[in-house]
Amino acid sequence: MNSHQEQARAVLAGLDDTRSWREELYRSLHQNPELSHQETRTAAAVRERLDGAGFEITDGVGGTGLVAILRNGDGPTVLLRADMDALPVQEATGLPYASTATDQDDQGQTVPVMHACGHDVHVAALAGAASLMAASTQQWSGTLVALFQPAEEVGDGARGMVDDNLAGVVGKVDVALAQHVLAMPSGVVGTRSGAVLSAADSMRATVHGRGAHGSMPQAAIDPVVLAAMIVIRLQTVVSREVAPTQPAVLTVGSLRAGTKSNVIGDHAVLELNIRTYDDQTRTTVLEAIRRVVNAECEASASPAPAEFELFDQFPLTTNDPDTTQRVGEAFTEFFGVRHQELPLQSASEDFSDIPVALGVPYTYWGIGGTDPATYAAAQRAGRVDQDIPVNHSPYFAPVLQPTLDTGTQALVVASLAYLGAPG
Ligand code: ZN
Ligand code: ZN
């Protein structure tokens, strides 16, 4: 066992003593989820836990973001990031601590709110890891930055913190680390070098027709038919224009047109989601979408040009190979066979906006949240995709343990792969 492992074991000797408050914090966060940019209660709960433990705390960074810095002598600075926001999803897990919360979304609509992406796990695990590190400063030296980020789900929370002088708040950082709970067996930690999460773009395309009575199609240019043609034709972009070795996703997530069966409307709005893993594929797909939409508009004799708007854009997440190797070796020593290679993920994240802005290397790993027996049964039946609820599902319910302990341990072990030996 090397000295980093000895340090990790010493710091994590306090894990059992923190379990009850970490679980309590998790349940409380789960029951009181907050939408993107509204994470005030969550940030306050973190602050309450870390106050008085030796952290220099700055809140209100990029809105509701919170940065807690623990200075412990000479040595590297490690930044650990957890995202805090929940989603407009109606929880259907049936858990005793399920959310019944509602809130106003940015359109002023009342929506249900649920931690359907597990960011409550991330917050509780980081609060736990930061507390353990603060309680055992004699075991390590350097600086630990615990960063609690708002608004990951809408893709602008990390950017908001960067734009609100994050670099001035954190000073010089050497490495940035983050994790996400995923639909893998609980207790498993997965790392991956290189591209790990996709770049994401959402696009709104508005196409124009000519409205008329439903009985008089000859007087109309029907936007429903036009939009339907676009939806079908778009299915050929990935299958016919992108190399089969190159992963890409193009989903038409929303299609709106018309108001009534006997009225032909005058426009249709399509909302698309695009996931890619390199810039060239991204350009190919975005250009193909515009070409298909414009060509179908011409085919329908559309009276006005289509309008395009890009929104909810997420950067590519590409793990630095050296950082991933260093963290991965520490995980193998600590977790043994529970450390595995993480498969390429089609989801996206804005975490990388932080290390990219700070000019530091990063790695982002996954932790499992699914009951191992349930996962094994689904695997035996060949039904993992069908039977295991994934992130954003109303049934997404990480088993509390060993998920929370694993997330806490992973953050401590990865930090100590960098932080120096005691003074
Ligand atoms: Zn999410
Ligand atoms: Zn998430």
Which residues of 260-338 form beta strands (DSSP E)?
A: 263-264, 267-276, 307-314, 317-319
Element (H, E) at 79: strand 77-83
Q: What gap in Å lies between CA 203 and CA 188, rounded to an integer?
A: 35
User: Domains of the chain by range and CATH?
Assistant: 3-195+316-416 (3.40.630.10), 199-314 (3.30.70.360)
Task: Say how many Å lie between the CA of residue 165 and the centre of ligand 1.
Answer: 25
The predicted structure's pLDDT at residue 4:
86
Q: What are phi and psi of 115, to 5 degrees?
A: -80, 75
How far does the centroid of ligand 2 lie from the alpha carbon of residue 287, in Å?
A: 28
Burial bucket for residue 103 (CB in 10 Å: 0-12, 13-18, 19+): middle
Residue 107's pLDDT is 82
Number of neighbours of residue 399 by Cβ within 10 angstroms: 17
Expressed in angstroms and rounded, the spacing between residue 291 Cα and the centre of ligand 1 is 30
For ion ligand 1, residues whose CB falls within 5 Å: 117
Decide: 226 and 205 in contact? Cβ < 8 Å.
no
Task: Identify the pLDDT of residue 2.
Answer: 59
What is the predicted pLDDT for the residue at 252?
97
Ligand found nearest the CA of 317: 2
CA of 182 to the centre of ligand 2 (A): 9
Structure tokens at 147: 């960063």
- 402 preceded by cis ω (within 30°)? yes
**Residues in the chain where the model's pLDDT stays below 50:** 1
pTM above 0.75, yes or no: yes
